[in-house]
Amino acid sequence: MGIVHKRSSPEAAACAAAAAQVLRGRGVEVLLDEAETGRAADLVLVLGGDGTLIHASGLLAARRVPILGVNMGSLGFMTEVPQEQLYPALDLVLAGKATLSERMKLGVHLHRAGAAEKRVVDAEVLNEVAIAKGALAPMAELEVTAGGRYVTTYKADGVIVATPTGSTAYSMAAAGPIVHPSMRGVILTPICPHTLTQRPIVLPDDMNLDITLRSPGEVVLSLDGQGFIKVERTDRVQIKQSSSRVLLVSNPNIDYFGILRAKLKWGER
């Protein structure tokens, strides 16, 4: 079992050390090195928040390895297990009684035109792809095609392409819809569009998207919020469903709607 914890949290580091000791006492080989975890772990324990879990899923690349997400703060959308339930959750997993939730990923390719078009970025995301202008830059013009058909050219602060898992992240903050993570679909959400009738849209998950920057100015590509890549005029970002999946261990004590109620304060006065 690999253990990945939030690096900036002393509490998460202490919890990781304690969990490693308990697991070794049960005869489980524990991997603490992230590269080794990505290469060899049969199960990954994440101690942190949803950002730490996204980082762990990136370590695994295309390997279908279950991830048990334990939240070290408030309940997470993906890190469903609270810290006090860590060891009961581990017992279920080690006994082979855990329930898994399969989550889709998106493949992202940034193509740069020139004498010979070249692929600058080749990556995968669990939550979303965001193409957004800089803070002081003018609105970006982003031409979008879906399945080879022209959709529109957004004049906006940017666009977000999200998975159902990522529908409760950046896309939701930009007024995108909440989509149940078991559904098949991709969400296209404009960020502050100049034309207010350009609304978020949910597209089939097998429909490839191409987004081309048609305007000058500072524009960046963000993958799951993990760093930024500069996008140049005429660059084309291709987004399509990945063949790989992320397997999350579900919390048996709370369902998805319970998570929504807790995180979004539904029903509170």
Cβ atoms within 10 A of the Cβ of 71, count? Answer: 24
The count of other CB atoms within 10 Å of the CB of residue 149 is 8
Element (H, E) at 35: helix 34-40
105 CA to centre of own chain: 8
CA distances from 188 to 87, 140, 196, 237 (A): 39, 16, 15, 13
β-pairing verdict for 100-112 and 236-249: antiparallel
The answer to whether the beta carbons of residues 208 and 188 sit under 8 Å apart is: no
Active-site annotation holder among 33, 42, 50, 206: 50
Q: What phi, psi does 176 have (nearest 5°)?
A: -80, 165
Instruction: Identify the residue whose tokens are 């009961």.
Output: 88
* Residue 50 bears catalytic tag: yes
Residues with a known catalytic role: 50
